[in-house]
Amino acid sequence: METELMRIGVSLPDTLLSKFDEIIEKRGYSSRSEGIRDAIRSYISYYEWMGDIKGHRVGTVAVIYDHTKRGLSNALADIQHHYSHLIKSSVHIHLDHDNCFEVIVLDGDGEEIKELAEAIMALKGVKFSKLTTVASNEKI
């Protein structure tokens, strides 16, 4: 069965597109479109994985953000205060004049951890956000 292809338009900063083009060339993709399809599949898979975060979990949220973005630092602080019962520790590092890296260590209900991570991901000025969790009773 053949799948119908749909055309879309996407606006990207030059630097992001240049980095993406370098990666698709190194990975041997036949086209930019194939690389984008693969990236979207990965995003969907990660989103579905996040939907399965339930029960007691421990984990981290790693965030890189532009601290010069108006109101962003306050919004991040508000989210963290709202979910303070989950937060065990956090580390804040200044990467350069504009960018900060923060790692938040979490312990608690998986669905609440996911809510916290999604609230952070949705903020304008957040350049990278990655949630990693494991069931606290999982044998490693």
Q: How is 82-140 classified by DSSP, letter by letter? A: HTTTTEEEEEEEE-SSSEEEEEEEEEEEHHHHHHHHHHHHTSTTEEEEEEEEEETT---
Query: How far apart are alpha carbons 102 and 79 in whole angstroms?
Result: 14
Q: What is the mean pLDDT of residues 20-46?
A: 89
Residue 100 in marked binding region = yes
- What is this structure's pTM? 0.74
Residue 56 in marked binding region = no
Residues 6+ away with beta carbon under 8 Å from 54: 110, 111
Q: Is the per-residue pLDDT at 2 higher than 70?
A: no
Do residues 124 and 75 lie in contact, with contact meaning Cβ atoms separated by under 8 Å? no
Nearest to 36 by CA among 12, 56, 57: 12
Q: What is the pLDDT of residue 1?
A: 53
Burial class for 77, CB neighbours closer than 10 Å (0-12, 13-18, 19+): exposed
In tens, the pLDDT along 85-137 reads 999 999 999 999 999 999 999 999 999 999 999 999 999 999 999 999 988 77
In tens, the pLDDT along 67-86 reads 999 999 999 999 999 999 99
* CATH superfamily, region 55-135: ACT-like. Chain A, domain 2 (3.30.70.1150)
Instruction: Compute the chain's Rg from CA coordinates.
Output: 18
Q: Coil, strand, or helix at residue 70?
A: coil
Query: How far apart are alpha carbons 82 and 94 in whole angstroms?
Result: 24
Q: What is the mean pLDDT of residues 2-17?
A: 86
Residue 94 in marked binding region = yes
Residue 92 in marked binding region = yes
Q: Domain residue spans in the chain?
A: 14-50, 55-135
